[in-house]
Structure 1
Amino acid sequence: MNTTIKKLEAYQSDSPSHWREEAEYRRENKSWMRYSQRIAMAILDKMEQSHLTQKALAERMGCSQQYVSKILKGRENLSIETLAKIENALSMQLLSTKIVRTE
């Protein structure tokens, strides 16, 4: 048993794992992350139809390609301003203007 522990310790990473914090973050933010993923998929579909690259979309939006990449991963909490830039750059509608009141 001692040799097994020594072998495991030999392969142990020097940097601590943050899997628990990341899992908790995903659980706590599940609701908006689901929307972000749906938006990312819609953007990817439109980009494919339009034969647009991330770089081209970034130029149209006035941001960096790295930021577009973050958006397309579906884990970015997007502002209304950013959503409007995406809509304008891709000539598509992501947000509905219909407001539904629940009481």
Structure 2
Amino acid sequence: MILIYGNQATREIWQEMPDERLAEGWRAHAAITGDLVASGELVVSAALSDPSLARRVPGGQGMGTAVEADERLAGILLVDCDSFERAVEIGSRLPEAPYGVVEVRPVLRDGGLEM
């Protein structure tokens, strides 16, 4: 799983980008997604809504917004590739990688690691 995080500083970077640069970023995401579809490695890709719209489920540690932290999950890519290194390579291509936080984490399936 490739997790894309954002914070106030990274949100401001995207919000202040000139339109052409912003379009370039979205084209980069589309190109990566297209490459992963073509290679058969993409399982799912999703951008997440603003963190202020998140809610904790009843029974959790209180109610309200989901997380009280500076870094917020902004999007995910679930990939099925040959190695962890390949997943890291894919994550490094994301436009957020140079200035944000992109984390690659193996997925647990049936009690074991799935690579």
How would you bin the TM-score normalised by the shorter chain? 0.3 to 0.5
Bigger share in helix: 1
Under a length normalisation based on structure 2, what TM-score does the superposition of the two structures give?
A: 0.30
Q: Which structure has the larger Rg over C-alpha atoms?
A: 1
Bigger share in strand: 2
